[in-house]
Structure 1
Amino acid sequence: MPASVIVDALWGDSGKGKACAYLSRKHDAALAVRAGIGTNAGASVTLESGELIKARQLPTGWLNPGTRVAVGSGVLVDPRIFASELDRFGIADRAMVDLRCAVITEDHIAAEQGDDHLLERVGSTCTGNGHARADFILRRARQARDLPELEPYLADVAAEANRIAATDDQLVIIESSQGTMLSLALSDDYPYTTSGNCTTAAALNDVGLNWRHLTDVIMVVKAMPTRVGHGPLPYELSAAEVERRGIAEYGVNTGRLRRKAAALDHDLLRYAAMLNGPTQIALTFGDHLDPRLRGARTTAAIGPEVRTVIAEVEASTGAPVTLLDTGPRLADMIELG
């Protein structure tokens, strides 16, 4: 089991962080690597104790004590957020950042927060990622190896990921960010996109992992999709209806109310599957679809509505649903198949 990629089918906020933590524990993964743009998106996991873990820079695989974590070279690093997560999670002894990562500065953040196009039209999080990425492309950004405070954590993450993935008994998990339909060059929703692609291929590239090591693509599909910021959202519910149903969600990074859809758009889901090539599907937020499922951990709890959605998702993606998320806690998961 050399390497698995966790990727979002639609617009993000689907529970990739929970899937990464769950699979890291299940398989005692040797390494979890963060792919994606940078700190413009967050992940959250609720532990059995009720403690809520929020992260923006490092993958949540560290919730397995034996898993090392890293930031891939294609990911932007904000040294302040990186340092904060090392301290909050107590993982300085098993965290790495690729020496080639471009760095987000205070100037990048200030430039985005003063950019009306990004703030008002696009609905960006304005966390400096777009401007830092632009500077990297123009070859004027600083890199992680240029900052003394990052020196203890510098590594060639691509070399380490490929070394581990070349073994037969250790697993590398790559946690992507955001969602396929936010991809800069693949979404029809431009300019309501992020500043790069969010697909399986993009995640491999962000980490520098040889595609021959890839054995599984776990595509996360949110049963009732959400979207933050502007851009189309098929089957969108009103904010009042979302509140009435008790299924309101708020962004990890921004705290903004997530727009929420009543159902999946299967044309988009088929397109996402074409782009990502999933071998497995993790269907998340099943309890928002059927509140009776909340917290369930056995297949006996799955009702007809959710079973119908599982069958529809499998038909649209051509991949089996192997994980069903049933609630906020890390162990609120049903394994299928």
Structure 2
Amino acid sequence: MGAIIVVDALWGDSGKGKVAAYLSRREAAPLCLRAGIGTNAGHSVYITEENSIRTRQLPLGFMNDGTAVGIGSGVAVDPRVFAAEVERYNLAERVKVDYRCPIITEEHIAREKASQHLSETVGSTKSGSGAAQADFVLRQAPQAKDIPELQPYLADIAQLANDTARRKQLIVECSQGTFLSLALSPDYPFVTSGNCTVAAAADDVGLSWRNISGAVMVVKAVPSRVGAGPLPGELGADEIQQRGIAEYGVVTGRLRRKAAEIPWDMLGYAAMLNGPTEIALTFCDHFDPAVTGARSRAELTAPVLELIAKVEEACDAPVTIVETGKLFEHMVDLREG
């Protein structure tokens, strides 16, 4: 079968977790893995208007009852956040952590909170993820194998990932976005602590390129960005509120900055870096409120269909998933006709 890697085209907050959860269900995937930096980015899915599932550490593939989840060795783990999510969603029998994962300590969090540069210049979430990754590079961070409370969950995720992908369908959920990549974004220092691309995600979980069957690049119809850094065509806070498209960060609670439209040159660059085989176009209800709640191709509005065509041309890949609202059920799978 192979692995499908889910990445964000721009600055994150595009609903990758929801897409990964949807793919886990659609593909009946036995395993969904988390790639990315650490607990500095949150993923959420609304089951009802008032009931949501939110995580910072675990991938959302567990929303499919038949899908186990795991954390790749390149991802920094906060044992407190991990334990809370495992308990909250009753996942003790369905979760694994690579024994080589770097550990986020209280000292890492304190170090980031004390950094004026991270707080005032970069706009960091101050989760300790970057500090943990820095210590990992310096070969002085503790690893998951050193933490007693993580012992029941330890595994070789690279082995598990490749074994699964050779036999069945594997989903890999990346965090943040391509243009927050440390070494690939033009916006340094307004970036995260590593790269956020298909290649980086594969590396985070130890996945061989031979076992990758596809890449879903998630494109947000009305792009957003949390924290500092350039945002082409940025809307003012008042206009965001007037349009009814306000969003707030899962980790920080901050109002997300929003752009008037997709930056097409950047989208093409993201497609070059990631080589998507398909596109998930999300937040289409923010682009055209008339499409809210659509469940089939026939219900998609003319503006959304036009946007789909433009995105496909820019990315040289088909749009196969269209999100039409905040609920998990608000997804149109164009592969189904």
TM-score tier after normalising by the smaller chain length: over 0.9
Equivalent residue for 1:38? 38
1: CA distance between counterparts of 2:158 and 2:109?
A: 28
Distance change in 2, residues 1:121/1:289 (3 Å): same
Equivalent residue for 1:12? 12
Equivalent residue for 2:278? 280
Equivalent residue for 2:93? 93
- Offset of residue 49 of structure 1: 7.2
1: CA distance between counterparts of 2:183 and 2:196?
A: 10
Deviations 1:276-329 (A, max 9, x none): 000000000000011111111011221121111111100000000000000111
Equivalent residue for 1:29? 29
SS of residue in 2 equivalent to 1:166: helix
| Letter of the 1:181 counterpart | F
SS of residue in 2 equivalent to 1:66: coil
Is the contact made by 1:37 and 1:129 (CA closer than 8 Å) also made in structure 2? Answer: yes
Equivalent residue for 1:300? 298
| Structure 1: stretches of 5+ with no match in the other structure | none
| Letter of the 1:43 counterpart | H
2: CA distance between counterparts of 1:194 and 1:64?
A: 29
Task: Please list, as runs of the form range in 1=range in 2, the aligned pairs for 1:170-181 lying within 5 A after superposition.
Answer: 170-181=168-179
Asked if 1:118 corresponds to 2:115, the answer is no
> Runs of at least 4 residues of structure 1 off by over 3 A?
none
- Offset of residue 252 of structure 1: 0.3
The count of aligned residue pairs is 335
SS of residue in 2 equivalent to 1:21: helix
Is the contact made by 1:112 and 1:127 (CA closer than 8 Å) also made in structure 2? Answer: yes
Deviations 1:135-191 (A, max 9, x none): 000000000000000000000010011111111xx2110000000000000000000
Equivalent residue for 2:108? 108
2: CA distance between counterparts of 1:241 and 1:88?
A: 37
Identity %: 59
- Offset of residue 50 of structure 1: 4.3
Is the contact made by 1:29 and 1:66 (CA closer than 8 Å) also made in structure 2? Answer: yes
TM-score by length of 1: 0.98
| Letter of the 2:6 counterpart | I
- Offset of residue 127 of structure 1: 0.7
Equivalent residue for 1:265? 263
2: CA distance between counterparts of 1:282 and 1:60?
A: 16
Is the contact made by 1:48 and 1:331 (CA closer than 8 Å) also made in structure 2? Answer: no
Equivalent residue for 1:154? 154
- Offset of residue 8 of structure 1: 0.3
1: CA distance between counterparts of 2:75 and 2:151?
A: 17
Equivalent residue for 1:74? 74
| Structure 2: stretches of 5+ with no match in the other structure | none
Asked if 1:236 corresponds to 2:234, the answer is yes
Is the contact made by 1:180 and 1:272 (CA closer than 8 Å) also made in structure 2? Answer: yes
1: CA distance between counterparts of 2:65 and 2:333?
A: 22
Is the contact made by 1:59 and 1:175 (CA closer than 8 Å) also made in structure 2? Answer: yes
Deviations 1:198-219 (A, max 9, x none): 0000000000001101011000
| Letter of the 2:200 counterpart | A
- Offset of residue 47 of structure 1: 1.1
Equivalent residue for 2:245? 247
